[in-house]
Amino acid sequence: MRTPALSTFERRLLNRLQGSLPVVARPFRAVAKELRTTEARVLEGIEALKKKGMVRRVGGVFSSRDMGFKSTLVAAKVSPRRLEGVVRFVNSFPEVTHNYLRGNDVNVWFTLTARSRRRINEILKAVGKQPGVERLIELPALNQYKVEVKFSM
């Protein structure tokens, strides 16, 4: 897969968006001021980056643990014939924050973040009953590490 060509402005915008956004009523206006452009151009640039597949979303990242939520990583062995339906079912839960396919027997990996352990258990039970789900492995975090990665564009 080729990396899409980026304009100088898109590179500057990507570099800026990797940091925190100003906590103000119009954060993209503040970013625009820093980049010496307009708010409209910043918003258009973000949309262009989304279309190119360089940005999936721009938004806040919250500490679910500090907010009282529970989370877990789940690995599932799903029959290839049932994969699409199971993935669609898993993704139907708003508590699923990430879902990845892997190229081995344990082929579906997803994270759950819910208000309670009880809710996580309900979701796991429902997923486990789906046709094609042969095995669920829950891998809760024992320790939490915060890694910050910034790319220089």
| Per-residue model confidence as pLDDT tens digits over 61-98 | 778 888 989 999 999 999 999 999 999 999 999 999 88
Domain that holds residue 37: 8-51
Is 64 within the bounds of a domain?
Answer: no
Is 149 within the bounds of a domain?
Answer: no
How many domains in the chain? 2
* 3 pLDDT above the threshold of 70: no
pTM for this structure?
A: 0.67
Q: Which two tokens stand for residue 61?
A: 């990242």
Is 15 within the bounds of a domain?
Answer: yes
CATH code of the domain in which 117 resides: 3.30.70.3460
- How much is the pLDDT for 64? 85
Gap between the Cα atoms of 96 and 31, Å rounded: 30
> pLDDT tens, 141-151?
888 777 676 77
